[in-house]
Structure 1
Amino acid sequence: MPPSPSTRPQAAAPPLRDRGDACPGALRLHRAADGHLARIRLPAGDLTVRQAAVLADAADLLGDGHLSLTSRGNVELRGLAEGCGGRLAALLRDAGLLPSERHERIRNILASPLAGLDRHTPSDVRRWARELDALLCASEWATALSGRFLFVLDDGRGDVAALGGDVSLLAEAEAEPGAAGDRPGPAGGALLRVGDDPAALRIAGPDAPRAALAAAEAFLTAAAASGSGAWRVRELPDGHGLTARDVAAALRSAGIGAAYVPQAPAPGTRTSPPYADSAAPGIVEGPDDDRALSVLAPLGRLSAAPWRLLTAIAADDGSGALRLTPWRGIVLPGLPAAAAPRRLAELTTAGLITDPASPWHRLGACTGRPGCAKSLTDVRADATAALAAGAAVPDGLPTGPASEGLPVYWSGCARRCGHPHGSWIDVLATAEGYRVALVEPDTAPTTTRTAAPPPTAPAPAP
């Protein structure tokens, strides 16, 4: 009998952390096989055109001329030369990308990329993200947070709520007085969740950023009491876990009102995986004449040339801002309807993914060789070759609804750096070839079949 495409693993004991995390940052560079690597945190993925231009300059002047987009909406620069850290820091500081050098690695804030841009969710979680970032940078104790600790701010559509936040805010909108139909207004509050606790706390919207910060402080208190050195809420050992009730006490101490919700709505389901339609490539219709462009970078990496084109479009026709998404994409807000199709065509010509039907959509890969010494192969070349041969995986999965429309992610080793959340197809390099598995939420990848790496082939145009 063939193995099941996914099985539920036995619960693993939380790790015991006896050191600080080694996550790279803008100031702490990581030595990779292709040179040094810098990771620049962009809370909510927000960039001004000036900041975007500085990142392109840094990639050209100090790195390998490319920018890598991460699953947390951040940017990585690779191929950095020895001794360039001071020059890079000066560029970032002058552009406002280093508001606090002591806090730069903990500014991990995801927010719904389309918040306020389309016709569905006007909740301004982007403003919450800016306020939370300012609170983090002003907090002395927040420097003790790990570079992996994650805040997630969902505008109510459920797109980022399932991305594994340690502290999550889910906006709850209320109907605007006199608004036509049931369109929600911005006067709602938020549900605050910690880790995987099914319960939540209902708080007023203006209190949301302060409440998220208080929840993070409650985590640090729990981690210290456990003696585990935990970096994330899910790593807290039994008997020391953090729940909504624990956070409620912390909120009361901070003067923040909260109502306990014993069973909050699930943050994501199989019918609406994170890759579904949020910020899918194409034109996003907003109210009146407003449009936004959503594009993806093939395998999350692009050269400085298309990045500069994105910056120019944002400056000339857009709102002067860019938003990076946790799906390794870019959203350009504020274009007039007349300009949007022409600009989208320019981005298509530049090699970006602009069509949700593109075979590159939902295809991802880790860095692989030659950039990562731990990788067993050049997974990006292999993924490209498989796509050129007409398949997103080397030997496919059984067809059917279980795997239809899911993201496919190629990994060069068992760490699976940057893999998707929720349901996805795992293509893992091993010494015997690639192993392909269907991964469900809270399940482990299980081998379904093994295939030799695909032959080298030219990449199809995105």
Structure 2
Amino acid sequence: MLAAMPASPHISRSPGDACARSSGDACPGALRLHRADDGALARIRIPGGVLTPLQAGALGRAAERFGDGELHLTSRGNVQLRGLAPDCGAELGGLLDEAGLLPSARHERVRNVVASPLSGLDGLGAADIRPWLTGLDRLLCGSDSATALSGRFLFALDDGRGDVDALGADLTLLGHEDGALLRIGDTDAVLRVPFSDAPRAALTAAEAFLGSAGDSGAWRVKDLPDDSAAALPAEVVRRLRAAGIAAAPGRRSRPLEARPPAPGPVPGGRREAALSVGVPLGRLDLARWRLLSSAGELRLTPWRGVVVTGIGPAHAPRLRSGLSEAGLITGPGSPWAGVGACIGQPGCAKSLADVRADAGAAVGPAGRLPVYWSGCERRCGHPHGEWIDVVATPGGHRISHVRGELATEAATVRDDPAALSAAVAAARGTRT
């Protein structure tokens, strides 16, 4: 039996931590392009992953006009455009602004908000958090102090079902029968606040974090020095009460696993239908993107999937069939379910392998655990909770089983596709 060992720091990172810490926050945005081996890269923040058909159409045109013709979904429900010309920034920004995707140029990189993608659709959860989403984004874009947040800092809006609460956000709002809960970092300590004050409470807590960070260089709550982290909850309570927001201490365990919506029709719809769709490796060419966005409003998920809403019931079966024929995941049993990978070669200079091709070659029967393929030790965009970690190394692919902050002792498989496929399948287990 492989012994458990503490996960190394790079395993315990949250999504988005791939941005290099040097003299400043280098995370890319829509207006700050990042140079990659396959051209410039733009990351467009989409709070809650919500896109109107008009906005989705604008992103498709941007990918076609400026990029490699694909839209790359991220682990925060955002979109990346790759293969951009380095001088396209002004034209790209104008196109996005016209579509309402850049409500504030000063805040575009801090609009990092994930939300329960099925909230208000399936009748589950303690509350519909859509008012929080629009409210928090409006408050963020109106706050001068919020511009000091890093491109990594993450808000999560969970309707009470515990899906995005497991993503390790810096600040999490949770729907609760008595109002709302505010979680600061990864601790089980939460604050109870009124439902209508939840977005304002989250922004106030973010401002308290900035005050606690001071000159420490902390970009996220988990980066705070121990004494600052310990003092932060009390400082948040003080600021909330000063702002006239009632706050009381409470406790709620953070779930270990962040479970994505099951692919297929979303139960509970009446006049309109919704469909949860998985996207292999998070890559959508223009034909697939247009097929998705022509059906209704989109909600991009932190699991690199899409929930299509507002579908006419008569159109839903035909749409599902068309998406399935296009290679997307629209039901159980797909071998691609739970398979993820970073961009790998040739797009990333740090990658030691074309891990997307490796993942495709190793796809087999659906596994019990998700698997994530990384081209280097940074593990950009890796999942949370329990998963199989496959990392390219100079000596082959290292495979380990990650659960929370612990990882099994790793085994390395040399570059033998058949052996690698068998080892990954065995590590993932059989879905029951």
Shift of 1:365: 0.3
Corresponding residue for 1:3? Answer: 2
* 1:365 maps to which of 326, 341, 346: 341
Structure 1 stretches lacking a partner, 5+ long? 174-187, 315-320, 393-403, 458-462
Q: Deviations over 1:174-217 (max 9, x none)?
A: xxxxxxxxxxxxxx411101112221100110000000000000
Q: Alignment length, in residue pairs?
A: 413
Taking the aligned partners of 1:330 and 1:368, their CA distance within structure 2 comes to 23
Please list every run of at least 4 consecutive aligned residues from structure 1 whose deviation after the TM superposition is greater than 4 angstroms: 9-12, 14-18
Are positions 1:337 and 2:324 aligned together?
Answer: no
Write the letter of the residue equivalent to 1:170. Answer: L
Aligned counterparts, 1:227-306, within 5 A: 227-241=215-229, 242-261=231-250, 264-269=251-256, 273-275=257-259, 278-306=260-288
> Corresponding residue for 2:42?
38
Kept in 2: contact 1:197–1:244 (CA 8 A): no
One-letter amino acid matched to 1:7:
M
Mapped to 2, the partners of 1:338 and 1:23 lie a distance apart of: 43
Please tell me whether residue 152 in structure 1 is matched to residue 156 in structure 2.
yes
Which of the numbers 86, 101, 104 marks the counterpart of 1:100? 104
What are the equivalent positions in structure 2 for 1:157-196 lying under 5 Å apart? Answer: 157-173=161-177, 188-196=178-186
Q: Does 1:406 align with 2:369?
A: yes
Query: What one-letter code is carried by the residue in structure 2 that aligns with 1:280?
Result: A
What is the percentage of aligned positions where both structures have the same residue? 57
- Deviations along 1:253-272, one digit per CA (max 9) or x if unpaired, are 211101111xx221213xxx
SS in 1 for 2:61: helix
In structure 1, the partner of 2:293 is: 311
Distance verdict in 2 for CA 1:309–1:254, change over 3 Å: same
Helix, strand or coil for the counterpart of 2:227? Answer: coil
For residues 413 and 428 of structure 1, the distance between their equivalents in structure 2, rounded to whole angstroms, comes to 6
Which amino acid is the alignment partner of residue 89 of structure 2? G
For the 8 Å contact 2:2–2:408, the answer to whether it is kept is no
* 3-state SS of 1:22 partner: coil
- Preserved contact between residue 388 and residue 401 of structure 2 (Cα < 8 Å): yes
Give structure 2 stretches of 5+ with no counterpart.
422-432
2:382 maps to a residue whose letter is H
Distance in structure 2 (CA, Å) of the matches to 1:453 and 1:55: 39
Q: Please say if 1:427 is aligned against 2:411.
A: no
TM-score by length of 2: 0.91
Q: Distance in 1 between matches of 2:411 and 2:254?
A: 28
Rounded to whole Å, the distance in 1 between the matches of 2:9 and 2:84 is 40
Give the residue type in structure 1 aligned to 2:233: A
- The residue aligned with 1:209 is 199
Q: Deviations over 1:76-113 (max 9, x none)?
A: 00000121111100100000000000100000001000
Q: TM-score, normalised by structure 1?
A: 0.85
Q: CA deviation at 1:335?
A: 2.2
Partner SS for 1:7: strand
- AA at the equivalent of 1:268: P
Counterpart of 1:363, as a letter, is V
CA contact (8 A) 2:188 2:254 kept: no
Distance (Å, rounded) in 2 between the aligned partners of 1:344 and 1:363: 21
1:54, 1:92 within 8 Å by CA — same for their partners in 2?
A: yes
1:338 CA drift (Å): 3.2
Quick check: 2:341–2:372 contact (8 Å CA) kept in 1?
yes
DSSP-derived class of the 2:167 partner? coil
- The answer as to whether partners of 1:193 and 1:244 remain within 8 angstroms in 2 is no
Q: Is the 8 A contact 2:32 2:42 kept in 1?
A: yes
Deviation at 1:429, TM superposition (A): 0.5
1:17-56 matches, within 5 Å, as: 19-56=23-60
Contact 2:126 2:176 in 1 (8 A): no
CA contact (8 A) 1:286 1:292 kept: no
Let me know the Cα RMSD of the aligned residues.
2.3
Q: Decide which moves more: 443-452 or 250-259.
A: 443-452
CA–CA distance in structure 1, aligned partners of residues 345 and 21 of structure 2: 28
Q: Which amino acid aligns with 2:391?
A: L
